[in-house]
Amino acid sequence: MSAQDAATRLFRELTGRDADGVWSAPGRVNLIGEHTDYNDGFVLPFATPHRTYAAVGMRDDERIRVASTFAEEPVEAGLSELELTFPISAEQDAWAAYPLGVAWALLLAGASGRGVDIAIASDVPVGAGLSSSAAIEGATASALNELWGAGLDRTALASIGRRAENEAVGAPTGIMDQMASMLGEADAALFLDCRSLEAQSIPLGMAEAGLAVLVIDTRVAHAHSTGGYRERRASCEKGAAIMGVPALRDLSTADLPRADGLMDDITFRRVRHIVTENQRVLDTVRALREHGARAIGDLLTASHASMRDDFEISVPELDTAVQSALDAGALGARMTGGGFGGAAIALVEQDAVPAVADAVAAAFAAAGFAAPNAFAVSSGDGARRDG
């Protein structure tokens, strides 16, 4: 059964009637630009063909109920008491903070909501680096925006999703995932300035170039809201403060020698990753425009080296995925997403996808790692109404 049918069916099971509509939003793969978002910098993600669907209908009261094929039981709350709902401490209900957090953030933004029932189903793998969290936020935000007549544009809805994730879920993420999910376009990446939220669609032309993006999910679980992610953010803020700039976005590679003299080695290497990564995003956009997807491989691989050596957010499984893909002929490869697990991507010849996937699997087996899950992705549409 498709995820859309599963959402529709779950809604009927939950309420005994048909939904008023079905909305969906995709996950995302970040082509390049990692940890640059919360430094006011540049990112270049694209939307996945995998999507999360929300079948939604209005109620006659002021309550909101959310159900997911992912969860045993629906979770219910009064619209006026959502404020008190977060953080959700019962582990089996924790997922509900995403859709309930979106409703809460929309109400805070001035939407006047009536009660709703929301049924969710998805084919975005969870915790695999594809941002299933942005997908559930985007689907819910699109649905409620329309049903509640809030009239927010896509960029504003991305901010609603981010607010839900930051404040209701408690994960200190940037805006990239939600923007990619809301504004993605088929066969294009989204070139996003995370300071101005100005977004441009950059054609990828993967199929015309005979290329594919292979996602290699290492199956090593990552946890954004803990440890390393917060530490990296703190280092970036410290580096910007030492350099006297509002954000690391305001530095260029020409500032790096001065930075080196002003801060400890770890902070400097964190700063160097962000500054060079911003430049690599700009270089990738130019290469795509001028020469096409075939020209970006080395930039992807350089991004990985910077995350491995300077930002120190890779893990052995990600390094093995990248190196074995390159050894098997990939044009470029890098870990993608927040790091400490999750997925890598490799830019490969279309007809070499199975061979590269096999080579990566063999390298994982030789290293004693659990088998990875590799699959090719094209770029899909952003959030939309489906029915």
**Which residues are catalytically annotated?**
177
CA distance 21 to 11: 10
8 lies in the binding site for ligand ADP (CB under 6 A): no
Q: Which of 30, 39, 85, 122 binds ligand ADP (CB under 6 A)?
A: 122
Q: Which of 225, 252 has the CB closer to Mg ion? A: 225
140 lies in the binding site for ligand ADP (CB under 6 A): no
Q: Which of 36, 48, 132, 306 binds ligand ADP (CB under 6 A)?
A: 132
Q: What is the DSSP string of 339-367?
A: SSSSEEEEEEEGGGHHHHHHHHHHHHHHH
Under the rule (CB under 5 A), what is the footprint of Mg ion? 131, 133
**Which of 302, 303, 277, 298 shows the shortest CA–CA distance to 287?**
298
Identify what 256 binds: ligand ADP, Mg ion, none; CB under 5 to 8 Å per kind. none
Cβ pair 314, 306 in contact under 8 A: no
Identify what 301 binds: ligand ADP, Mg ion, none; CB under 5 to 8 Å per kind. none
Identify what 140 binds: ligand ADP, Mg ion, none; CB under 5 to 8 Å per kind. none
45 lies in the binding site for ligand ADP (CB under 6 A): no
- Cα of first residue to Cα of last residue in the chain, in angstroms, is 16
Task: Give the residue closest to Mg ion by C-beta.
Answer: 133
CA distance 308 to 160: 32
Is 303 annotated as contributing to ligand binding?
no
**Which of 300, 347, 356 shows the shortest CA–CA distance to 325?**
356
Stretch that binds ligand ADP, among 126-134, 155-163, 192-200, 376-384 (CB under 6 A): 126-134
Stretch that binds ligand ADP, among 68-76, 150-158, 282-290, 358-366 (CB under 6 A): 68-76
Is 181 annotated as contributing to ligand binding?
no
Cβ pair 68, 126 in contact under 8 A: no
Site map 77..116 versus ligand ADP, x via CB under 6 A: -----------------xx--x------------------
Q: Which of 126, 305 has the CB closer to ligand ADP? A: 126
Q: Which residues contact 223 (CB under 8 A, 6 or more apart)?
A: 340
52 lies in the binding site for ligand ADP (CB under 6 A): yes
Q: Which of 124, 315 has the CB closer to Mg ion? A: 124
DSSP symbol at 40? T
224 lies in the binding site for ligand ADP (CB under 6 A): yes
Is 380 annotated as contributing to ligand binding?
no
Cβ pair 213, 49 in contact under 8 A: no
Identify what 276 binds: ligand ADP, Mg ion, none; CB under 5 to 8 Å per kind. none
Lookup: tokens for 243: 């350099």
**Which of 178, 174, 154, 155 shows the shortest CA–CA distance to 166?**
174
Phi then psi for 122, rounded to 5 degrees?
-150, 150
The residues facing 23 across adjacent strands are: 54, 385
Lookup: tokens for 86: 């977060």
Site residues (vs ligand ADP, CB under 6 A): 52, 68, 70-71, 94-95, 98, 120, 122, 126-127, 129-133, 136, 224
List, as residue ranges, the binding site for Mg(2+).
133, 165
